[in-house]
């Protein structure tokens, strides 16, 4: 399939570089600002298209790698162009293929294809794509064609019910974005201990924990006072916290209690549960 991108931001750069490195037929880029699209085209050995309609003509699969809030309006601005027979894809984690409003009536098909990764850097993040999981959703036969393409790159790719996309994206937010909130909260506490310069040690602790979760799963990886049923230590933690940090601690510890009960079904966590209630 000839592949084109409309939107030369982080996802467009990253996916385009990955596809080009894997030997896929990348026709090129169109975008709102010419500069980034020209840069992405030259980086991937493809063409810059000042006119997105020309890119659509040249491609079989067109990624709309624009911000989530613009996917529908960008699609609608293209819908009266030469779209028949084409597959359109977007990369939103939370939106479904329904963002391509009325696409089947134009003789085209639309899918969502989400790489389960954070893309902070448009030039370097593509190196992580080889190990990235993709969730795909949309109508046949476009779904099977794009699923086959992604699988042929060596990536794990699984279909997802479109009604589940917000929940799927929530799972990603919990482990990715919220771990940033936890890192920030922990760093603030270390700062209050006069150990602000030792933040790196805290983040290495996060990394080693993430490795354990990846290796053993969250239940087996759980350690600490909740897992031990140590109500005294947990009460001590609650006593030094206030406001939203205290509430966050309480809610997260309640969630950990469920994990602990799975790991140690023989243990009695009643006093800890009462403390956290």
Ligand X SMILES: NC(=O)c1ccc[n+]([C@@H]2O[C@H](COP(=O)([O-])OP(=O)(O)OC[C@H]3O[C@@H](n4cnc5c(N)ncnc54)[C@H](OP(=O)(O)O)[C@@H]3O)[C@@H](O)[C@H]2O)c1
Q: Where on the chain is the footprint of ligand X (CB under 6 A)?
A: 6-12, 31-33, 36, 65-68, 70, 74, 90-93, 114-115, 118-119
Which residues, 6+ apart, have CB-to-CB distance to 97 below 8 Å?
110, 111, 112, 137, 138, 139, 162
When the beta carbons of 121 and 140 are compared against ligand X, the nearer one is 121
Considering the complex, what minimum distance in angstroms separates the CB of residue 210 from ligand X? 18
What count of residues does the chain have?
277
When the beta carbons of 118 and 270 are compared against ligand X, the nearer one is 118
Considering the complex, what minimum distance in angstroms separates the CB of residue 64 from ligand X? 8
When the beta carbons of 61 and 256 are compared against ligand X, the nearer one is 61
Considering the complex, what minimum distance in angstroms separates the CB of residue 66 from ligand X? 4
Considering the complex, what minimum distance in angstroms separates the CB of residue 233 from ligand X? 37
When the beta carbons of 12 and 229 are compared against ligand X, the nearer one is 12
When the beta carbons of 168 and 249 are compared against ligand X, the nearer one is 168
R_g over Cα of the chain: 23
Residue 17 has which token pair? 């570089």
When the beta carbons of 26 and 66 are compared against ligand X, the nearer one is 66
Q: Is the dihedral of CA 232, 238, 240, 245 positive or negative?
A: positive
Q: Give me the residue whose beta carbon is nearest to ligand X.
A: 9
Edge-to-edge, what's the strand order for the sheet holding 47-48?
Answer: 47-48, 25-30, 2-6, 61-64, 87-90, 109-115, 134-137, 157-159
When the beta carbons of 59 and 256 are compared against ligand X, the nearer one is 59
């Amino acid at each position: 399939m000839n592949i084109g991108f409309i939107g030369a931001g982080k996802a467009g750069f990253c996916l385009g570089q990955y596809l080009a490195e894997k030997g896929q037929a990348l026709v090129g880029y169109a975008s709102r600002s010419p500069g980034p699209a020209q840069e992405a085209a030259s980086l991937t050995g493809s063409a810059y298209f000042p006119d997105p309609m020309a890119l659509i003509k040249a491609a079989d699969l067109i990624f709309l790698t624009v911000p989530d809030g613009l996917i529908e309006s960008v699609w609608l601005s293209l819908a009266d162009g030469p779209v028949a027979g084409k597959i359109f894809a977007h990369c939103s984690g939370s939106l479904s293929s329904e963002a391509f409003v009325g696409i089947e009536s134009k003789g085209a098909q639309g899918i969502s294809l989400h790489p389960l990764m954070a893309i902070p850097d448009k030039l370097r993040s593509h190196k992580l794509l080889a190990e990235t999981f993709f969730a795909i959703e949309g109508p046949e036969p476009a779904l099977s064609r794009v699923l086959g393409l992604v699988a042929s790159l060596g990536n794990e790719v699984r279909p997802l019910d479109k009604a589940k996309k917000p929940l799927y994206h929530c799972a990603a937010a919990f482990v990715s974005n919220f771990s940033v909130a936890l890192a920030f909260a922990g760093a603030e506490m270390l700062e209050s201990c006069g150990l602000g310069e030792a933040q790196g040690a805290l983040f290495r602790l996060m990394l080693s924990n993430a490795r354990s979760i990846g290796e053993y799963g969250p239940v087996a990886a759980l350690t600490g006072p909740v897992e031990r049923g140590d109500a005294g230590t947990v009460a001590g933690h609650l006593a030094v916290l206030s406001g939203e940090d205290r509430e966050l601690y309480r809610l997260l510890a309640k969630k950990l209690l469920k994990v602990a009960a799975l790991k140690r079904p023989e243990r009695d966590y009643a006093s800890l549960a009462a403390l956290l209630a």
